[in-house]
Amino acid sequence: MAGQMGPMMQPQVILLKEETDTSQGKPQLLSNITATLAVADTVRTTLGPRGMDKLIVDDKGKATISNDGATILKMLDIVHPAAKALVDIARAQDAEVGDGTTSVVLFAGELLKEVKGYVEDNVSPQVIIKGYRKACQVAVEKVKELSVVINKDDSEFRDILEKVAGTSMNSKIIHLQQDFFKKMVVDAVLSLDEDLNERMIGVKKVPGGALQMKDSKLISGVAFKKTFSYAGFEQQPKTFENPKIICLNVELELKAERDNAEVRVEQISEYQAIVDAEWEIIYEKLEKIVNAGAQVVLSKLPIGDLATQYFADRNIFCAGRVPSEDLDRVVKAVGGSIQSSVNDLKPHHLGTCGFFEEKQIGGDRYNLFTGCPNAKTCTMILRGGSEQFIAEVERSLHDAIMVVRRAVKHKSIVAGGGAVEMELSKHLRNVANEIHGKQQLIINAFAKALEIIPRQLIDNAGFDATDLLNKLRKAHALGDKWAGVDIKNEDVSNNYDNFIWEPTLVKINMLTSATEAACLILSVDETFRNPQSEKPQMK
């Protein structure tokens, strides 16, 4: 009897602290899938040319209007641990390729939705993960095969880049002004050096004025807002032709020479010598800058009232506390280098530009450096009615800049508007037909999930999704590989011929990121949530 009871009467082992929340197994997996679908539903309606915007208000009452997937998810305070995976892939997509943030979240959500039924039917998550990884590999290979290589030496290269920028802007707040802005974006990207560092494109937002025409403009050079200045600034000249420009990381203020040392003096004359030494040091610095021939002095650190007046007396312009990124762009444009000491200044340490001026733009004054000999940087000045509007314009232009940058770097494009997704869906169904067992179902689920992109584009435009998707499937079955959604005419059209183009990298990154996120969520079967341990009380 005792032998039979033994296994049933084993003592219960308490492994985790009391109040620890544990959930596991199939209910946990289904709960995670449901949470990620809720996140995807949040950004679902923002996709495409007819997508809606979201108004997000933070705890301080600041309102942000955006339809950028990464921005929306970043501002939502998502606490569900599994749902945070979608926030991460949106951020990664934004950092890596700049566009397609809504698409990647939607696709990841749809991948999980398609296999939710299989999970309920006790199909092992590992079988699903294996199938999805195989499908993703096949899809990426097919995208590379479909992509069209663009040649930098081609006479139509610039035109192609403008089309790519226009496609990115179609779903943004500036789609009505895309003819104006796509030229600005392409000019900005082509002005960069081979590194294509997007930080070298400055964006300055000035409320007031019109969004396009003469008010918003691209400056081939650097512009930054007038910095805080001391008395004597108004006596300095505000325009120069071919000035010598010096960029410093040096503080030109009296207080900079004081130290925390203790100095014991016996006579007043000794104290006076210490004070005089401080003045001599700063005057020596200022003299060296003037002797170097500088006419424009910029510094990351403050330039005090003594130095400001000193420069004004000698017809030199100065600006202290210049933001670090602006000073870096000035050096890139005018030449020279940032100096951390004024000793041993040589002519090659100074830069020059064709024209420097201080100019009123809207309610602010701006310092403009133009006509730079080898400007590898530029500045966009954006005007508009409200701060929220200009901020969204900036986010839209950032996506377009990143997309054009990727097209220049990787030199291959595909048609957008759901065309690639439908072609991949058809290809994966054909591949699945040659595979036996459960993997066939999983690859078919991946193929069906791809249709969410054209379906959502159609839904957001208010069209009949069933009718248009059937037309798309038929077009692709008949061999029209670039058939996609035509939003303007509520129909199906060849989106490559309609110049709806996207960099291949956007699609590849979307496929790989979404698949990895879906596989990550499917591989989690248990969550532990420990309550915050109480701090020991002081005795």
- What are the catalytic residues? 68, 101-102, 399
- Among 81, 76, 100, 80, CA closest to 90: 100
d(CA 496, CA 511): 20
Neighbours of 331 (CB within 10 A): 17
- Among 406, 408, 414, CA closest to 142: 414
d(CA 121, CA 225): 62
d(CA 43, CA 52): 9
d(CA 509, CA 96): 8
d(CA 514, CA 105): 7
Pairing of strands 355-361, 239-241: antiparallel
3-state secondary structure of 411: coil
CB 181 within 8 A of CB 356: no
- Among 260, 245, 258, CA closest to 329: 245
Joined together, the tokens standing for residue 408 give: 């220049």
Joined together, the tokens standing for residue 444 give: 């078919």
d(CA 145, CA 14): 56
- Among 473, 496, 513, 418, CA closest to 49: 418
Pairing of strands 526-529, 491-494: unpaired
